[in-house]
Amino acid sequence: MNMSGTSKVIHDPVHGSIKVDGPFLTILDRHEMQRLRAVKQLGLGNMVFPGANHTRFEHSLGVYHLAGRMAASTGLSGEDAMAVRAAGLLHDICHTPFSHTTEEMTEHVTGMDHMEAAGKLIKGEISTHLERDSDLFGHLGPISEVLEENGISSDEVCGLIMYPGSRGESRDALSNWKRAAHFSPKDFVHQIIHGPVDADQIDYLVRDAHYTGVAHGKVDIDRLIGTMKVHNDRIVIEKGGTAAAEGLMVSRSLMYSSVYYHRTVRIIKMMLMKSIEASSLDISRIYLLSDAELVDQLIEEGGTPSRIARSVQNRILYKKAATVFSEDASEDLLSDLSEFTGYKKRKQLEREIADRAGVDVSDVIVDIPPRPVLLSNMNIGKTDVSILDPEGKVKSLAKLSTVAKALQSRDAFGWSLLIASPEEHRDAVLKASRKILNL
């Protein structure tokens, strides 16, 4: 990290030199941001992809950097450009430990996703630190004060962080596919953070591919941003960027199927959830913890939480008892499974299977894709990109590209049902699952 006057240049393995200046330096050093150094970007993905030890902190820096580049490319300046950069830096500030691994559970308990919680954290409406750290941070005002003192509207920043239509929907990684669906007029600024081609997804695709070693995440960032324009208050890509837009969609599709929805990664994620569910932890406050602090608390609790947490640490994993691949799933089964896609209903199904199998509910994992994916094969290809031709006409990339069109029907999951348990209970869990779900 090189210092120069009131700015710092941070050397990033993905984007090269990232310049951080002004109020962003102050925000970067805040304890709320520093916690993200200890929250892995891919949660427990490093149990399958050993290099995936990168964090939400470096991802946030990358989004800040790309948001600034996109603001410049679309002609944003002044307060709007500052707000977009701030939103890029702060968008993940309330991510729970192990990233999306614990978000579904937290959202069920609090009714907020991490972006809604981020708005409250920025404004100081929820706790920003653990009680033990009051001596270090108790005197600090909320981040919103830093923003306002530097002429940046905290309301605008929080509005950019939250994507329209977010409340009450199932997030997980599916949220990253859906967020371009509904925007108000004059909202191209919002699209820099949440859109078909946004700073968040460009960074996580490239960064995750870099650290997992998966070769699917190559995105022509320079071409994408260089051909990005505003047309009728929407972000579009000029015709010369069509191939780069295709590359983005291909990368996104392949990364979801090979990394984000890797079946073993899903089992490990669900195991950690089981450990937390069996514990006495206050789930509404785990957003204040790091990955290590969460695991330490689970182990200290003893009993089932400790056993499962230590099993995850030592990669003693539950085994697949049943997998229904998408091509083998009948319409009747898909209809039945759709009744269990929400967190609460899925937990009820786990309990039913456990009771019939004669095992503890902590020994049964059920994973089902989100309802829209399960029933309508909605996938990431449907987050389409608008292409502007030289005559000023805007067309959907899917209408111009056979590649993009094909991606609209590609199943990024590859499976409709995944059930797992400790190896010693696998036969009993499989038998119970067949009875209950008529497999």
Q: What percentage of the chain exceeds 70 in pLDDT? A: 91
Q: Do 205 and 330 lie in a common domain?
A: no
Is the per-residue pLDDT at 1 higher than 60?
A: no
| Number of domains within the chain | 2
pLDDT tens, position by position, 261-308: 999 999 999 999 999 999 999 999 999 999 999 999 999 999 999 999
**CB-based contact 66:19 (threshold 8 Å):** no
Of 164-173, 224-233, 302-311, 377-386, where does mean pLDDT reach its minimum?
A: 164-173
Q: Do 331 and 209 lie in a common domain?
A: no
Q: Which domain holds residue 199?
A: 2-216
**CB-based contact 69:228 (threshold 8 Å):** no
Rounded to whole angstroms, the Cα distance separating 325 from 197 reads 30
- Predicted TM-score (pTM) of the model is 0.91
Boundary of a domain, candidates 192, 216, 240: 216
Boundary of a domain, candidates 183, 216, 249: 216
Three-state SS for 417?
strand
In a domain, 394, yes or no: no
Alpha helices in 324-408 (DSSP H): 331-337, 343-357, 371-376, 397-400, 402-407
Q: Do 19 and 130 lie in a common domain?
A: yes
Q: Do 146 and 32 lie in a common domain?
A: yes
**CB-based contact 343:105 (threshold 8 Å):** yes
In a domain, 378, yes or no: no
Query: Which residue matches tokens 């192990």?
Result: 98
**Angle between helix 343-357 and helix 100-110 axes, rounded to 10 deg:** 100
In a domain, 266, yes or no: no
Would you call 282 exposed, middle or buried from its count of C-beta atoms within 10 A (0-12, 13-18, 19+)? exposed
DSSP characters over 125-151: SS--S-GGGHHHHTT---HHHHHHHTT
Of 90-99, 197-206, 374-383, where does mean pLDDT reach its minimum?
A: 374-383
In a domain, 116, yes or no: yes
In a domain, 23, yes or no: yes
Alpha helices in 213-339 (DSSP H): 221-226, 242-255, 263-277, 291-301, 303-313, 331-337
pLDDT tens, position by position, 177-232: 344 333 344 478 999 999 889 999 999 999 999 999 998 778 999 999 999 999 98
Q: Do 212 and 64 lie in a common domain?
A: yes
Boundary of a domain, candidates 176, 195, 216: 216
Of 126-130, 207-211, 377-381, where does mean pLDDT reach its minimum?
A: 377-381
Rounded to whole angstroms, the Cα distance separating 115 from 163 reads 8
In a domain, 125, yes or no: yes
Q: Are strands 234-238 and 386-388 parallel, antiparallel or unpaired?
A: parallel
In a domain, 11, yes or no: yes
CATH number of the CATH domain containing 61: 1.10.3210.10
pLDDT tens, position by position, 306-318: 999 999 999 999 9
Q: Which residue has the higher pLDDT, 163 or 188?
A: 188
Of 10-24, 50-64, 325-339, 414-428, where does mean pLDDT reach its minimum?
A: 325-339
Q: Which of 120, 98, 91 is nearest to 27 (CA)?
A: 91
Distances (CA, A) of 148 to 27, 144, 347: 12, 6, 43
Three-state SS for 215?
coil
Gap between the terminal Cα atoms of the chain: 57
Q: Do 332 and 211 lie in a common domain?
A: no
In a domain, 112, yes or no: yes
* Structural tokens at position 50: 């050993």
